[in-house]
Amino acid sequence: MRLVYSLIFIVALALIFTSSIKKYSKNFYTIALIIGSGTIIYEIYRLVTDIKLQGFIGEFEKASMKGNFSIAFFLIVMFAGALNPKWKITKKLLSIRAESAILGSIFILPHAIMYLVRFIVKLLNHKPITTLYVIYLIVGLIAFIIMIPLFVTSLKKFRAKMKFADWKKIQRWAYPFYLLVYVHIVLAIFNDKEIDILKLSIYTVLFGGYFILKLIKNSKSTRAIKNI
C-alpha cells in the first residue's frame, strides 16, 4: 500500500501546489535532491550498522528508497498526457508535466544507486544471485539509460535550444521507458519470496490503464486528422 499512499501524497501535492511547483521549480528540485541524498546516506549507513528507521520516518524513507515517489511523479506525467485535456485536473497536471518528470528522475536516483551498491556487495560477498534478479537489474538499467535524455530534454535550458521536431523524437522514448519501468516492477515482485498479488494488481491497473487511455486518445486524434 506504500505506492497508494505515495501516489495520494504526490498527486495532492501537485494539485495543491501547482503554481508553486511551476514558479519555484528549482526549490522543489533542491528538496528532492536533499531527500534523495539523505536516503542514500542512510541506506549506506544501514548496510554497515543494520539499524532500521521506524514509524512514519521509516515508511517515508522506504518510499524514497523503493522509488514510490518517483513512480508517483511519473504516473502524473503519464496520465497528464492520456486524460482529456479539457478537464480541469488534466490542465493542472499538464502545466507541471515537465517539472513532474524532472522530480521523478531525481527521486529515482536513490533506488538506482542503492540497488547497484547492493548488487556489488552481493558479488563481493559471493552471495547467490538468481537469473531473474540479474534480468531485473538489466531491465532497470536500460530504463535508467533511456530516462537520461528524457530528463535532460525536460529541462527548460536544453529544451529551449532544441527544435520541436527533435525534442518530440526524443520524448517518444517515454513510451518504451514506461513499459520497461512496469516490467522492472513486475520482475521485482517476482523476485520476492512471496508474490504480492495486491501490489502486482495495483501496478498492472495503473500502467495498463494508462496505455489503454493513451491508445484511445491517439486513435481519436488519428481519426480527427483523417476527417479534416
Residue range(s) defining the domain that contains residue 17: 2-226
Residues 206 and 182: their CA atoms lie apart, in Å, by 10
What residues contact residue 154 under an 8 Å CB cut-off, 6+ apart? Answer: 98, 101, 102, 105
Quote the pLDDT of residue 226.
58
Long-range contacts of 1-6 (CB under 8 A, 24+ apart): 1/198, 2/59, 2/62, 2/63, 2/66, 2/68, 3/68, 3/71, 3/72, 3/199, 3/202, 3/203, 4/202, 5/59, 5/63, 6/63, 6/68, 6/69, 6/71, 6/72
Quote the pLDDT of residue 118.
86
Contact predicate 136/191, CB 8 Å: yes
Quote the pLDDT of residue 225.
55
Quote the pLDDT of residue 219.
80
- Please count the structural domains in the chain: 1
pTM listed for this prediction: 0.91
Q: Print pLDDT tens along the chain (228 aa).
A: 788 999 999 999 999 999 999 999 999 999 999 999 999 999 999 888 878 888 899 999 999 999 999 999 999 999 999 998 889 999 999 999 999 999 999 999 999 999 888 888 888 888 888 999 999 999 999 999 999 999 999 998 888 888 888 998 999 999 999 999 999 999 999 988 889 999 999 999 999 999 999 999 888 766 665 555
Contact predicate 177/143, CB 8 Å: yes
Query: In the numeric block, which cell numbers belong to residue 26?
Result: 528549482
